[in-house]
Structure 1
Amino acid sequence: MTAEIERAAHAYCPVCTPDPGRGDLVTALCGATHPFWGRRERPVNNCPACEALAAGTVYPCGHTGSER
């Protein structure tokens, strides 16, 4: 895992990752897997791959952002 991945704020599927706990391994929309340390409302920098995938109507996992 690179420092860039650790610092970037990733987007997650709300169906695949409904309520992760701190330290749980999670996989972001871009495929990066790392421990979850909380959701940040206004991150310093966002993962550009996650932003592009979150803008689509269907996530790579097949779910949509409106499912829950």
Structure 2
Amino acid sequence: MTAEIERAAHAYCPACNPDPGLGDPVTALCGATHPFWGRRERPVNNCPGCEAVVAKTAYPCGHTGGER
């Protein structure tokens, strides 16, 4: 994984991670595990792996983006 993707804003399944606290380890949709940095929208810096998963109907965990 490149440093650019390491610093990118990752997407997380809201059903699997309903209320992570800052610093809690969570697994992003691309499979990378990072401390949770808070929810933010940064289109320019989004992880391309996560964006590819979000574009699909279901996440690898079986949930969809609309589930909570």
TM-score with structure 2 setting the length: 0.86
Q: Please name the residue that 2:63 is paired with.
A: 63
Distance of 1:52 and 1:19 partners within structure 2? 23
Paired residue type of 1:51:
E
Uncovered stretches (5+) of structure 2, i.e. residues with no partner: none
Residues 6-25 of structure 1 mapped to structure 2, 5 A cutoff = 6-25=6-25
Identity percentage of aligned residues? 85
What value does the CA root-mean-square deviation take over the aligned residues?
A: 1.6
Paired residue type of 2:61:
C
Paired residue type of 1:42:
R
Kindly tell me the number of residue pairs found equivalent between the two proteins: 68
The 3-state SS of whatever aligns with 2:51 is: helix
Distance of 1:23 and 1:51 partners within structure 2? 22
Listed one character per residue, the Cα deviations across residues 21-64 of structure 1 (whole Å, up to 9, x for unaligned) are 00000000000001111112225411111001001110001111
